[in-house]
């Protein structure tokens, strides 16, 4: 039996980051990544739907998060004085 390997997938980070950014798309200010994650704790699946849970992190860059770096993609609204 001949071993056949599949060709490796292209790195999605390179070509995607070089593409022009559509208006309104979230993009990391640090690395240019466009993958965001929202982390919740305590979510329950009931009747096939996710219910509840506490949002711990919202719209954080996943590429930076994998490296252990916290990089929010949306700045929190500040208090206007």
- Which residues of the chain form contacts with Zn ion (CB under 5 A)? 28, 30-31, 33, 61, 63-64, 71
Q: Which is nearer to Zn ion, 50 or 66 (CB)?
A: 66
In whole angstroms, how close is the CB of 35 to Zn ion at the nearest point? 8
In whole angstroms, how close is the CB of 41 to Zn ion at the nearest point? 22
SS3 40: strand
Contacts of 70 (CB under 8 A, 6+ apart): 57, 60, 64
Q: Which is it for strands 49-51 and 44-46: parallel, antiparallel or unpaired?
A: antiparallel
In whole angstroms, how close is the CB of 62 to Zn ion at the nearest point? 8
């Amino acid at each position: 039996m001949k071993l056949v390997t599949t060709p490796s997938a292209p790195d999605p980070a390179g070509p995607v980051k070089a593409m022009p950014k559509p208006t309104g798309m979230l993009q990391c200010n640090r690395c240019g990544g466009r993958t965001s994650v929202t982390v919740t704790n305590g979510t329950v699946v009931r009747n096939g739907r996710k219910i509840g849970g506490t949002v711990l992190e919202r719209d954080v860059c996943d590429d930076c998060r994998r490296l252990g770096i916290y990089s929010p993609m949306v700045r929190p609204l500040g208090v206007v004085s």
